[in-house]
Amino acid sequence: MSKSYGLIIDERKPADYVLGAFTKLPEEVLQENGDWTDYLPLEEKQNIGLESMACVTFTILNCVEILIKRKYGEERNYSDRFLAAVSGTTKNGNSPQQVAEFLRKVGVVKEDVYPFNASGFDDFYKPLSPKLYELAKEFNEEWDFMHEFVEGKDIDTAITYSPLLISVAAWFNDNGIYYRPKGMKDNHATTYVKSMPDYRLVFDSYDSHLKKVHPGALPMVAKRFWIEKKKTKLSLYQMLCKILSKIFQ
């Protein structure tokens, strides 16, 4: 009997951004060799004492935290519990598009504000307080965040722009390489962090963290991400001071 690991595969809509097609994301090469392993975030499991079914949330926040560390040298740890809850994760899991859109529109709080310390599934997903929604806005006040789908043929290009969310069939092992059995549908999201000739290295939230995935098992869904710090707007007083300082130099 197959297990459900929490991935709902998106049905693509015409307006969804896709790398190389309808897209507005900057094509910013950050890791030309496709290796993000120097920027991995803290190891956090999606099933500490309970199964959260939140592999999609964990994967997206892993990608975001890796990008921030790579671009700005800053360690960030955002609340998987908050984003999983606010985006409507259920016992069937969630879809990458839905979770990414909630992050883009609603934001997320930091891990220490809303940690993974629930007594059970219902407690983990209990209603969020208005205060948490207010604090979540700080993410989008600080960052511009965007995301897009990636076709299988473009994965090797996309991995130079960001770590990727990729879908896998969890977990079938042949001599240390994980693969998708014939006829099986992907059921789990994980973070693709290093391109290798014989496998894709993924940073996983389910059990052990680094796994090798067979390159022939093209994901049924993949996403890449882009994030940039927003420029701080100067107050009128600050602008006047800046102008005066230039005049009287």
Q: What are 22-73's pLDDT values in tens digits?
A: 667 999 999 999 999 999 988 777 677 788 999 999 999 999 999 999 999 9
pLDDT confidence bin for 234, thresholds 50/70/90: low
Q: What is the pLDDT of residue 242?
A: 61
Given a cut of 60, whether residue 238 has pLDDT beyond it is no
**pLDDT higher at 21 or 123:** 123
pLDDT confidence bin for 1, thresholds 50/70/90: very low
Q: What is the pLDDT of residue 49?
A: 72
Q: What is the pLDDT of residue 51?
A: 80
Given a cut of 60, whether residue 83 has pLDDT beyond it is yes
Domains, the chain, ordered by start: 37-247 (3.90.70.10)
Q: What is the pLDDT of residue 70?
A: 98
> Residue 80: which of 51, 59, 58 has the closest Cα?
58
Q: What is the pLDDT of residue 246?
A: 62
Order across the sheet with 200-203: list the strands: 143-149, 222-229, 164-168, 188-195, 200-203, 210-213, 177-179, 172-174
Instruction: Specify the 3-state DSSP secondary structure of 226.
Output: strand
Can you tell me the distance from the alpha carbon of 224 to that of 51, in angstroms, rounded to the nearest whole number? 26
How high does pLDDT run on average in the chain?
Answer: 91
**pLDDT higher at 235 or 117:** 117
Given a cut of 80, whether residue 124 has pLDDT beyond it is yes
* 138: Cα within 13 Å, side-chain hemisphere: 9
Mean pLDDT value across residues 196-225: 92
> Residue 59: which of 233, 227, 209, 247 has the closest Cα?
209
Given a cut of 80, whether residue 92 has pLDDT beyond it is yes
Instruction: Specify the 3-state DSSP secondary structure of 63.
Output: helix
Q: What is the pLDDT of residue 208?
A: 64
pLDDT confidence bin for 233, thresholds 50/70/90: low
Q: What is the pLDDT of residue 133?
A: 98
